[in-house]
Amino acid sequence: MTGALLVAGTTSDAGKSVLVAGICRWLHRRGVDVAPFKAQNMSNNSVVTADGGEIGRAQALQAAACGLAPSVLFNPVLLKPGSDRSSQVVVRGVVDGTVSAASYRERKAALLEVVVDTLAELRAAHDVVVCEGAGSPAEINLRASDIANMGLARAADLPVVVVGDIDRGGVLAHLFGTLAVLEPADQALVAGWIVNKFRGDPALLAPGLEQLRALTGRPTLGVLPWSPELWLDAEDSLGHVADGVVGRPAPPRGRDWLRVAVVRLPRVSNGTDVDALSSEPGVAVRWVTEPSRLADADLVVLPGSKTTVADLAWLRASGLADAVVAHARAGRPVLGVCGGYQMLGRRIHDPHGVEAAPGTVDGLGLLDVEVTFDVAKHLGTPRGTALGEPVAFYEIHHGRELRGSGPPLVTLADGTPEGRPEGMDAGHVLGTHAHGLLENDALRRRLLARAAAAAGREFAAAPGVSYAAVRAAQLDLLGDLVEKNLDTDALERLITDGAPAGLPGVRTTTGQARATS
């Protein structure tokens, strides 16, 4: 079996990422050499590859579904928003400047060549490549410079399936409208529909799908049911809903729940770091945006940020900064990760204007550390020890520590006799630049035990919990959903043979729609 497929969506967050992961898992379990691909991703959730590059976290999850290590080939263009109007551009894993929405259009012609060449390289190395679109192909105002949806499909002659989220309402109109606004050559590659997050009686939906086929000449390849068990690795900050509990926590092993409050910063980055906490029975992890939510928290987490200084200003303006300081001064644990760690220190220096205007701002003063932003980004996948346990993690940050007193949280195994110190452990206040640190099972349980002791909770960590196993089970669930609910024979034909010839075009006239050959 050889070929490729592009999964597009009617909207952002329609289910493209999880559907690609599910298709990849289904194929991988059948013994197919499959790889994921997303030409252009916009997300502040990223990981570091083994060769030192940076890609979107969703592509790392999809790689895991394929049994592969993350690679820069899976996501050649990554946009990391620093504001509503500008983004850092990462090309094949390496930062390549900052762009506005307008200036980015001027770069896309060159980037289309990059993504097409990268896809060709990936297809030469694997039997099947499952591609994920970005946003929606119906954004016709962006079509001329598109490199991720129909622009990529046309350049690489990819068959396209479109997924729509029925939970949002209007999914049949979304699917039809997506096709109807496309030009004929783009329409010719759109071969079918997939409905996502369906709840209820499928018989009620069936007549609508038949009418959709009559209107478009294209079949629905399956209806994926809504599954409350799926929650890992949100694509971007849309998944970090304020005041929402993360995951589906199992009941505690001891008498008490342990309550974790994660501050939802406006430009939160790698918020998926806290997903591992939610895998533990009896741990309730909640995203919060206002001070009262910290009142009963046993552990407060300040996650990463793409704009640390701006998010620190928001933290102060919202009253959350005072609440975090009060929590720490009461002897209750606070953990800062990357940007959150930088906020906990004494000062943040930005002499080169990496984030905004050059200058220095005061941190919360809870850790004896200062941070200076370097122009070059620090990327790595080191190993070491933390809280007495061996750990592996990844680093993505501009900040460089200027350490004061206090033991490190992490000691890196960098070849020196004493190891390189990283982060800080002040007992009830801890900070680190290490992303993915909580995915280390023994370390995570030690941290939770410390938080429970400080809070006086009768909490017992479950020694058998493996975060890697939790993630693998989620991927298998996605593979099961694809295998049981999609027309996999039709998917295979699309992957190997491409879009069928002669698919009808769709046009609208005076409010009526019809498929025309």
CA nearest 341: which of 313, 299, 289, 304?
304
DSSP string for 474-495: HHHHHHHHHHHHB-HHHHHHHH
- Cα 451 to the center of its chain, rounded Å: 27
pTM: 0.92
> In this model, does residue 509 exceed pLDDT 70?
no
- Under DSSP, the state recorded for 8 is E
Active-site residue set: 338, 435
The average pLDDT across 296-306 equals: 96
Range with lowest mean pLDDT among 15-29, 94-108, 142-156:
94-108
pLDDT at 237 over 50: no
Tell me: pLDDT of 490 over 50. Answer: yes
- Region 180-199: mean pLDDT is 97
Report yes or no: 137 and 150 within 8 Å, Cβ to Cβ. Answer: yes
268-269 and 304-305 strand pairing = antiparallel
What is the C-alpha separation between 434 and 336, in angstroms, rounded?
A: 10
Of the pLDDT bands very low, low, confident and very high (cuts 50, 70, 90), residue 97 is confident
Whether the predicted pLDDT of 299 surpasses 90: yes
Q: Is the pLDDT of residue 76 over 70?
A: yes
Residue 294 has pLDDT above 70, yes or no: yes
Report yes or no: 100 and 141 within 8 Å, Cβ to Cβ.
Answer: no
- Main-chain dihedrals φ then ψ at residue 344, nearest 5 degrees: -75, -15
Which residues lie across from 81 on neighbouring strands?
Answer: 87
Query: Domains of the chain, with CATH numbers?
Result: 3-219+487-503 (3.40.50.300), 238-464 (3.40.50.880)
Instruction: Please give the average per-residue pLDDT across 390-409, as a whole number.
Output: 92
Strand partners, 165: 196
What's the mean per-residue pLDDT of the chain? Answer: 92
Give 456-473 pLDDT, tens digit per residue: 999 988 888 999 999 999
Torsion of CA 394, 399, 400, 405, to 10 degrees: -90
Q: Taking CA 157 as the corner, what is the angle to CA 154 and CA 163, rounded to the nearest 5 degrees?
A: 75
Nearest to 170 by CA among 192, 207, 200, 195: 195
pLDDT tens per residue across span 408-447: 999 998 766 667 899 999 999 999 999 999 999 999 999 9
Q: Is residue 302 within 8 Å of residue 335, measured between CB atoms?
A: yes
- 320-329 and 308-317 helices cross at what angle (nearest 10)? 90
Structure-token match 């079949």, residue found:
219
Angle in degrees, 0-180, between the axes of helices 16-29 and 57-65, rounded to the nearest 10: 20
How far CA 513 is from CA of 180, 185, 209, 241, in Å, comes to 9, 18, 15, 38
DSSP 332-374: --EEEETHHHHHHSSEEEETT-SSSSSEEEE---SSSEEEEEE
How many whole angstroms separate alpha carbon 187 and alpha carbon 506? 8
Q: Does position 405 have pLDDT exceeding 90, yes or no?
A: no
Contact (CB, 8 A) for 45 and 80: no
pLDDT exceeds 90 at position 404: no
Q: What is the pLDDT of residues 34-58, one digit of tens each?
A: 999 999 999 989 999 988 899 999 9
Q: Exposure string (b/e) for 32-44, b if CB count within 10 Å is 16 or more? A: bbbbbbbbbbbbb
Q: Which of 33-37, 233-237, 287-291, 324-328 has the lowest mean pLDDT?
A: 233-237
Within 388-487, residue ranges assigned H as helices are 441-455, 467-485
pLDDT mean over 73-87: 89
- Between 7 and 108, whose confidence is greater? 7
Band the pLDDT of 254: cuts 50, 70, 90. confident
Confidence bin at 166 (pLDDT 50/70/90): very high
Instruction: Answer yes or no: is pLDDT of 235 > 80.
Output: no
pLDDT higher than 90, residue 276 = yes
pLDDT tens for 168-183 read 899 999 999 999 999 9
**pLDDT of the residue at 228:** 83
pLDDT of 511 strictly over 80: no
Sequence-distant (≥ 6) Cβ neighbours of residue 292 within 8 angstroms: none
28 pLDDT higher than 90: yes
The per-residue pLDDT for range 320-343, each reduced to its tens digit, is 999 999 999 999 999 999 999 999
* Residue 305 pLDDT exceeds 70: yes
| 173: number of Cβ within 10 Å | 13
Mean pLDDT of 310-328: 98
Q: Are 412 and 382 in contact (CB under 8 A)?
A: yes
pLDDT of residue 278: 92
pLDDT at position 510 is 41
* CA pair distance 130, 190, nearest whole angstrom: 15
Whole-angstrom distance, CA of residue 493 vs CA of residue 501: 13
Rounded to whole angstroms, the Cα distance separating 73 from 218 reads 32
What percentage of residues in the chain have a pLDDT greater than 90?
81
Cα–Cα separations (whole angstroms), residue 32 to 20, 79, 157, 397, 406: 15, 30, 21, 36, 51
Candidates 331, 336, 344; CA nearest to 455 is 331
DSSP string, 116-145: HHHHHHHHHHSSEEEEE--S-TT-GGGGGG
Q: What is the pLDDT of residue 416?
A: 62
Q: How confident is the model over 118-146, as a mean pLDDT?
A: 96
How far is the C-alpha of 391 from the C-alpha of 438, rounded, in Å? 9
Q: What is the pLDDT of residue 239?
A: 44
Question: Is a pLDDT exceeding 70 seen at residue 452?
Answer: yes
pLDDT at residue 514, rounded to an integer: 55
User: Which residue, 20, 235, 279, is CA-closest to 131?
Assistant: 20
Backbone angles phi, psi at 285, to 5 degrees: -105, 125
